[in-house]
Amino acid sequence: MNIHPSPSTLDKLQHTAPNVAFEPAGDQPHVEKQRSTAADHLPCVTSVSTPTGAMPVLRTMMTTACERNCYYCPFRAGRTKTQRVSFKPDELASAFDQLQRANIVKGLFLSSGIIKGSVTTQDKILDTVEIIRHRYQYRGFIHLKVMPGAEYDQLVRAMQLADRISINLEGPTETRLSALAPKKHFQTELLQLLGWAHQIRTTRGIRASSVTQFVVGAVGDTDLELLSLSEKLHRQMSLTRAYYSAFNPVTDTPFENVTATLPKREYRLYQSSFLLRDYGWSVEELPLEGEGNLRLDVDPKRAWADANLSQKPLDVMQADRQQLLRVPGIGPKAADAILQARRTGHLTDLAHLRKLGIAAPERAAPYILLDGRRPPLQLSLF
């Protein structure tokens, strides 16, 4: 590889990698964790799914120093095990330019700890990206972290420069956030920024998308809390995506002895979030159990179908699009294909569904009628 940044700059980039690894950056966070497309000695480069396809992205920070004391965070103030490194805007912009010209990276995810206040830190992030966009004429993918308490004009500039911005709520309520990060303010420092981002998109025509992230399971948060807020943000603030990061304890933090959250819970939250965002479901339809959490042993769509369709299967020739989207194995493309096929023919067996591009129609079979009958299922030999 022909990489020109100075050894000290490359070394600093590597030191930021462990601290930013827990921050999701792409469209498939549950499969992107720790996935690298670069050489093993460049852990700061990971493969990320974006609206224009998968690409190697530099994930780094302006500084790993921080004056905030978030209880779960590896670079919280006072944690002695974190190696503190910082970049100047010129230095980081130059390093990124050289990496992308060497075809090592094709995009940037830039976060930061907070030093000398959120406004000062946000200015350094913006200065870095201004250099990348204007001096180096880079036109590719950039995902920027917005600091809690950033100013309105800074948010506008971030959305002008970036393709995507992250405003991480961390907790779904003020109480949960206070238990995670006592120096952060839910409404004025975070939720207000998401509202501003929506306003900026609708009034100024700036197309940058916004996402948020939650830390799941460290302080008693429920799936109902997390998904209710996610649904509200999708519908009222045009949120593109909510990231759910299963809590893992970090040594030398106040939460080092808190039990880790099962990865399966994170996965079930993503499945439910997609039902809310892409399938037209509401939180009230999700199969939440008594304490407001999802079952871990079965995906939420199947759990709903077991309760609602097992005894009252849908007739595929009669069901509307929204009803079809409730059936396991049938997504938006499959539902549209079924509706189109019904105009010219009759669907009478699972083979017809397979020809429409439904990869595993057997998943749908227990919940549908074909030609007025339940389709026969081939029993597994094992």
**Residue-wise pLDDT tens digits, 101-154:** 999 999 999 999 999 999 999 999 999 999 999 999 999 999 999 999 999 999
How many Å apart are CA 269 and CA 299, to the nearest integer?
Answer: 10
Query: Can you give the pLDDT at residue 83?
Result: 84
DSSP 45: E
Q: pLDDT tens for residues 43-60?
A: 888 888 877 778 899 999
Query: Can you give the pLDDT at residue 376?
Result: 79
Query: Can you give the pLDDT at residue 39?
Result: 44
Specify the amino acid at residue 164: R
Query: Can you give the pLDDT at residue 52?
Result: 75
How many Å apart are CA 25 and CA 33, to the nearest integer?
Answer: 10
Query: Can you give the pLDDT at residue 272?
Result: 97
Query: Can you give the pLDDT at residue 49?
Result: 83
Mean pLDDT, the chain, rounded, equals 91
Inter-CA distances, 371 with 77, 347, 350, 357, 379, Å? 65, 7, 11, 19, 21
**363 phi and psi angles, rounded to 5 deg:** -65, -35
Q: What percent of the chain is predicted at pLDDT more than 90?
A: 77
Query: Can you give the pLDDT at residue 166?
Result: 97
Q: With 50 as the cut, is the pLDDT of residue 379 above it?
A: no
Q: Bigger pLDDT: 379 or 358? A: 358
Residues 6+ apart with CB under 8 A from 101: none
- Checking DSSP bridges between strand 107-111 and strand 314-315, what pairing results, if any? unpaired
Q: With 60 as the cut, is the pLDDT of residue 32 above it?
A: yes
Question: Band of the pLDDT at 359, cuts 50, 70, 90?
Answer: confident
Q: Residues 213-236: what's their mean pLDDT?
A: 97
Q: pLDDT tens for residues 66-80?
A: 999 999 999 899 898
CATH code of the domain made up of 7-281: 3.20.20.70
| Nearest alpha-carbon partner for 233 in 257, 215, 256, 209 | 209
Which residue is associated with the tokens 């509202």? Answer: 195
**370 phi and psi angles, rounded to 5 deg:** -125, 125
Q: With 90 as the cut, is the pLDDT of residue 98 above it?
A: yes
Contact 141, 52 (CB under 8 A): yes
Query: Can you give the pLDDT at residue 81?
Result: 85
Query: Can you give the pLDDT at residue 380?
Result: 44
Q: With 60 as the cut, is the pLDDT of residue 200 above it?
A: yes
Q: With 50 as the cut, is the pLDDT of residue 284 above it?
A: yes
Query: Can you give the pLDDT at residue 80?
Result: 86
CA torsion 312→313→317→322, rounded to 10°?
Answer: 90
| Nearest alpha-carbon partner for 338 in 350, 321, 314, 313 | 321
Q: pLDDT tens for residues 158-169?
A: 999 999 999 999
Q: With 90 as the cut, is the pLDDT of residue 209 above it?
A: yes
Q: pLDDT tens for residues 301-345?
A: 999 999 999 999 999 999 999 999 999 999 999 999 999 999 999
Contact 201, 158 (CB under 8 A): no
Q: pLDDT tens for residues 214-225?
A: 999 999 999 999
Residues 6+ apart with CB under 8 A from 274: none
DSSP 184: -
Query: Can you give the pLDDT at residue 193?
Result: 98
Stated pTM of the model: 0.90
Contact 108, 89 (CB under 8 A): no
